[in-house]
Amino acid sequence: MTDPVYLDNAATTPLDPRVLESMLAHFEGARGNPSSLHALGASARDALEWARASAASLVGAAPEEIVFTSGGTESDALAVLGLARQALPERRHAVVSGVEHAAVREDARRLQKEGFEVSWIGVDSDGLIDPDEFTAALRPDTALAAAIWANNEVGTVEPVLELAEACAERDIPFHADAVQAGGRVPIDVCGTPVSTLALSGHKLYGPQGIGALYVRNGVWPEPIVCGGGQEKGLRSGTQNVAGIVGFGTAARLAREEMGERVAHEKALRDRILAGVERIPDVHLNGHRGRRLSNNVHLTVSGVEAESVVLFLDTLGYAIGSGSACSSGGHKASPVLIAMGRSERDAFSSVRITVGKDNTAEEVDGFLGAFSTAVAQLRELSPLYAG
């Protein structure tokens, strides 16, 4: 069986061969611990610092403002939990958008358990945060505010600049989850006053298991992982050198190739959109204009997401589903619910995300397969009258 056509790039991207090549050197031959004094240690340290600088340049940061973590989820935890916990004791309030990735959402819930009051900020039907509503929720006792830069499910790009500026004016730390935005949306921390910003390697054609947190100079989240004091004490533990080098290479390529990647993705995205919108009762979720270059998120009336995903899988196409079906009923996507969609719509939603390596031929093949899958599953569905 040939490899499936991969259209789930928001879940993870393929590893770029150039990234793999850069990493292999750190798996082969002699290696040292970057904290060691000897030459092998120094060599590992050099590789680390090169990667740090590369990662920093993706978002316009200084190298020392980059902390490497095990991934986006850990970066979010260090920022959200770490910033809230280091706030003055009288600051026991957080402002968080209602469309966060589970990483930030669950961190905020953790804060609630720790006694913080959390104001959840709603979105409009396109998933867009209203900056005025967000700003209005900021209070003198707000310890932290957080918003996702670009939504991982529906692909809406949020007005992060306005949110960050509102927080900066009030001296409130602001965390942006840029895991999906990194490499697709121009990010410059000089122009956008975020306090922290999360990135992930495997959304950038880098390896899984590596992430980074931008931490503005002067900002000191309380560490989650304590120990030997690596990464300025913000993330102890011997670094994943090969992973970090992979991240560095991926970040460099993302910066250099962003323009052409985004143009390529947009062309494929719009080709998919034009194709699927010819099928009756298929609706795009998320903002049409303020949208990630690679994201098509659809509600397909009358069919359930998992069945579409696995049906397409049998036809050789890998896409994502928005919800997970489990015992005692589904868990509807909180993002779609926050956008005012029904649970039934949420259960019928799928995500197609293209990448730099996809082709127009693949997209055309997908459109045929998608229409077959939807037609056959609707034939079977008691909830689709057609």
Stretch that binds another protein, among 81-89, 141-149, 290-298, 299-307 (CB under 8 A): 299-307
Stretch that binds another protein, among 38-46, 271-279, 281-289, 327-335 (CB under 8 A): 327-335
Question: Is residue 330 at the binding interface for another protein, with CB under 8 A as the rule?
Answer: yes
Helix (H/G/I), strand (E/B), else coil: 33: coil
Question: Is residue 102 at the binding interface for another protein, with CB under 8 A as the rule?
Answer: no
The count of residues interacting with another protein (CB under 8 A) is 28
Element (H, E) at 67: strand 66-69
Question: Is residue 306 at the binding interface for another protein, with CB under 8 A as the rule?
Answer: yes
Question: Is residue 384 at the binding interface for another protein, with CB under 8 A as the rule?
Answer: yes
Do residues 173 and 219 lie in contact, with contact meaning Cβ atoms separated by under 8 Å?
Answer: yes
Q: Which is nearer to another protein, 217 or 326 (CB)?
A: 326
Query: Sign (positive/negative) of CA torsion 351, 8, 157, 343?
Result: positive
Cα 189 from Cα 6, distance rounded (Å) = 32
Cα 275 from Cα 28, distance rounded (Å) = 47
The single-letter code of the amino acid at 150 is A
Residue 325's CB is within 10 A of a number of other CB atoms, namely 13
Total number of residues shown for the chain: 386
Shortest spacing between CB 383 and another protein, in angstroms: 4
Shortest spacing between CB 323 and another protein, in angstroms: 7
Q: Which is nearer to another protein, 284 or 303 (CB)?
A: 303
The rounded Cα 68 to chain-centroid distance in angstroms is 16
Question: Is residue 380 at the binding interface for another protein, with CB under 8 A as the rule?
Answer: yes
What residues act catalytically?
325
Contacting residue, 302, 320, 322, 355, with another protein by CB under 8 A: 302
| Residue in this structure with the two tokens 């690679």, named with its chain if needed | 294
- The dihedrals phi and psi of 31, each to the nearest 5 degrees, come to -145, 155
Q: What angle do CA 242, 177, 269 make, to 5 degrees?
A: 90
The single-letter code of the amino acid at 113 is K
User: Binding pattern to another protein, positions 337-356, x when CB under 8 A?
Assistant: ------xx--x---------
Shortest spacing between CB 179 and another protein, in angstroms: 24
Contacting residue, 6, 134, 311, 317, with another protein by CB under 8 A: 311
Q: Which is nearer to another protein, 85 or 344 (CB)?
A: 344
Q: Which is nearer to another protein, 112 or 342 (CB)?
A: 342
Q: Which is nearer to another protein, 249 or 301 (CB)?
A: 301
Cα 109 from Cα 67, distance rounded (Å) = 24
Contacting residue, 129, 251, 303, 352, with another protein by CB under 8 A: 303
Q: Which is nearer to another protein, 226 or 325 (CB)?
A: 325
Question: Is residue 323 at the binding interface for another protein, with CB under 8 A as the rule?
Answer: yes
Question: Is residue 375 at the binding interface for another protein, with CB under 8 A as the rule?
Answer: no
Question: Is residue 307 at the binding interface for another protein, with CB under 8 A as the rule?
Answer: yes
Sequence-distant (≥ 6) Cβ neighbours of residue 224 within 8 angstroms: 74, 77, 78, 81, 82, 235
Contacting residue, 304, 322, 336, 338, with another protein by CB under 8 A: 304
Paired tokens of 4: 């499936």
Helix intervals (H) in the chain? 17-24, 39-59, 72-86, 102-113, 131-137, 160-169, 241-276, 305-314, 334-338, 343-347, 360-380
Question: Is residue 317 at the binding interface for another protein, with CB under 8 A as the rule?
Answer: no
Shortest spacing between CB 351 and another protein, in angstroms: 16
- The dihedrals phi and psi of 157, each to the nearest 5 degrees, come to -90, 125
Contacting residues toward another protein, per CB under 8 A: 302-304, 306-307, 310-311, 313-314, 323, 325-330, 332, 343-344, 347, 376-377, 379-384
